[in-house]
Chain A
């Protein structure tokens, strides 16, 4: 028995050396922990985010600023508790350099604390809840998407410019729904014909649509993401209202739902900061290559995440690949020296973008497929409404 000890020691020594060299090799890779909602009814959103991000990485030559990249992909299943575990694993076991993605605001709020406490760089590519733009803003948070209220604010401005005097508001009965309605009202100056909050994931809107019809508004504003938007607009059109009452929306009739709607949604107005028809060179390349690779028109979720990859690439390039210097990397991210698919892009002090808001009409594109057509810019260089509460 005695003789075996040196053998074991030798073997474990060799293993240790192997582990150290292997570990050393691994640390030369820039690690991204990409978490999004990749299963359940909202999986299409997370899939677009991931695909957009990976296309951005591919367009950066498969590297960020010349550094090899490893992307760890995780599904949060839209469960905040599971998301917290995943993020803790990203931070402690995988020791990622950046956590990215995050589809839903409730998940975002749950993981904000572990990220802020560990000072891990976070790059959000969709959810942008108000508290993180306001009092709970953090220097290591970068949202390359938008603050939740911004798009609704743009549509509110559009309603005011159009001279609508009596708008009917509808949203699901949860925080994001109330935020969208709140954002709209911040820039809309007319009267409110009615404000209705429906059950989350309610399939049938016939009762609410009949009420809406009775109120006789000059326009309707809705926030119905995913399947809810599909249900709503099908029923709105079948009631014969789509031609009669202008339908304004955010996050409802977008790249994630238009394939299931096609002509049904023609004429609906949608507010965003990006459209597939933007004619800047970066966007043209993104849209063309995304379609060629994945066989569908990219959604806003894909565009934001693509921007995220380009931003990381620009920042690491700017600091000469020395990404382990966290402060330098954060400063380079904040500088945002990349060409965004949306055109002008600048970070505010709270890590949320200052960018132009547009409205779009659902209309056939050049190839005759149903997509978004840019109508007009509503709020140029628009900062979010919570930056004043950010102590940074």
Chain B
């Protein structure tokens, strides 16, 4: 267990956390401000990956693929909100869960009809396909680019939410939605913008993972579950909570997968460590969530005074 290995794993955890943040930021805003449970967030991520792969294979330009996927999913988010999801805003959470779960099933089948059963091809551009040297450690350039891109997006979101008028309204909406509406703000438009913004971020996350992961039907569900864990840990409605929650979950999941088996091997005999190591490592994130909820039921960065 060298220092290099620990540093490499920390970067991996950070990169995974950044991706989770892109997913969680949208979900936590939609949940926190609109009080809307959107299980189809993972489907938007999947569509992001499919759009990016399709644009990349037709245009050959990776940057164009990423940007257009994000914009298209932003528009798709606005469109589905306009087309019917907005009706659900006032309904109970159970109705929202049922409707958006239906959307998940529908999206997976739609992708299968349009792009086929088999996973489709997407690769990193040549200038990012090798490893870069960071403090003597060879780290995949593409993953490093994800970290940089994600941090830039996080910074942009911070500025948008803390320094602009629309950000102020979003924050106000998260604290007291009725009051914002009473002050003459068109809450329907604010909601639509927030929903589309969240969708666009999910689309960006999907587009960014295309070169690392298999682009296939149903790819959104595993990441959705971890995203829900992130927003619960971070505090629902809080962007800052989503950021730190995502980094914590990313680090714990990645480090756990590496170090739990190593520690177990030191404590038990190898056969037993091999048997229980992977199982224990995959439980770690959920144990963390349980502990945090026991001490801080509102999450790490709760949004105060919600109406």
Q: Judging by beta carbons under 8 Å apart, are A227 and B214 in contact?
A: yes
Within 8 Å by CB of B121, from A227, A231, A261, lies A261
Q: Judging by beta carbons under 8 Å apart, are B123 and A203 in contact?
A: no
Closest partner residue, chain B, to A259 (CB atom): B118
Q: Is there a chain B Cβ closer than 8 Å to A41's Cβ?
A: yes
Q: Is there a chain B Cβ closer than 8 Å to A24's Cβ?
A: no
Q: Is the interface of A mostly helix, strand, loop or mixed?
A: helix
Q: Which of B105-154 contact A (CB under 8 A)?
A: 112, 116-121, 123-124, 129-131, 138-143
The distance in angstroms between the C-alpha atoms of A199 and B283, with both chains bound, is 11
Q: Which of A194-232 contact B (CB under 8 A)?
A: 195-199, 201, 203-204, 206-208, 210-211, 213-214, 226-228, 230-231
Contact flags B205-248 to A (C-beta < 8 A → 1, else 0): 00001011111111100110000000000000000000000000
Question: Which chain B residues have a beta carbon within 8 Å of chain A's beta carbons?
Answer: 2, 4-5, 8-9, 12-13, 15-16, 112, 116-121, 123-124, 129-131, 138-143, 209, 211-219, 222-223, 254-255, 257-258, 261, 274, 277-279, 281-282
Q: Judging by beta carbons under 8 Å apart, are B213 and A234 in contact?
A: yes
Closest partner residue, chain B, to A230 (CB atom): B214
Closest partner residue, chain B, to A201 (CB atom): B222
Within 8 Å by CB of A260, from B8, B141, B214, B223, lies B214
For B279, the chain A residues whose CB sits under 8 A away are 173
For A214, the chain B residues whose CB sits under 8 A away are 2, 4-5
Instruction: Give the segment of A235-243, A352-360, A382-390 that binds chain B.
Output: A235-243
Least CB distance, A367 to chain B, in whole angstroms: 17
For B4, the chain A residues whose CB sits under 8 A away are 214
- In addition to A206-B16, A259-B121, 9 A-B residue pairs with Cβ atoms within 8 Å of each other are A47-B117, A203-B219, A210-B8, A210-B9, A234-B123, A235-B140, A237-B129, A239-B139, A264-B123
Q: Is there a chain B Cβ closer than 8 Å to A279's Cβ?
A: no
For B274, the chain A residues whose CB sits under 8 A away are 195, 197
The distance in angstroms between the C-alpha atoms of A201 and B282, with both chains bound, is 12
Q: Judging by beta carbons under 8 Å apart, are A238 and B142 in contact?
A: yes
Question: Which chain A residues have a beta carbon within 8 Å of chain B's beta carbons?
Answer: 40-41, 43-44, 47, 173, 195-199, 201, 203-204, 206-208, 210-211, 213-214, 226-228, 230-231, 234-235, 237-240, 256-257, 259-264
For A211, the chain B residues whose CB sits under 8 A away are 5, 258
Closest partner residue, chain A, to B278 (CB atom): A173
For B211, the chain A residues whose CB sits under 8 A away are 234, 238
Q: List 21 A-B contacts (CB under 8 A).
A: A41-B216, A41-B217, A41-B218, A199-B281, A203-B209, A203-B213, A204-B212, A207-B9, A207-B254, A210-B9, A210-B258, A213-B138, A214-B4, A227-B216, A231-B214, A234-B123, A234-B214, A237-B129, A238-B141, A240-B138, A260-B214
The distance in angstroms between the C-alpha atoms of A128 and B16, with both chains bound, is 37
For B119, the chain A residues whose CB sits under 8 A away are 44, 226-227, 230, 257, 260
Contact A43-B140, Cβ < 8 Å, known A206-B254, A227-B214, A234-B123: no
For B282, the chain A residues whose CB sits under 8 A away are 199
Least CB distance, B95 to chain A, in whole angstroms: 27
For A264, the chain B residues whose CB sits under 8 A away are 123
For B254, the chain A residues whose CB sits under 8 A away are 204, 206-207
For A206, the chain B residues whose CB sits under 8 A away are 12, 15-16, 140, 143, 254
Q: Judging by beta carbons under 8 Å apart, are B131 and A240 in contact?
A: yes
Closest partner residue, chain B, to A255 (CB atom): B118
Q: Judging by beta carbons under 8 Å apart, are A44 and B143 in contact?
A: no
Contact A238-B214, Cβ < 8 Å, known A199-B278, A263-B123: no
Contact A262-B121, Cβ < 8 Å, known A41-B217, A211-B258, A231-B213: yes
Q: Judging by beta carbons under 8 Å apart, are A207 and B257 in contact?
A: yes
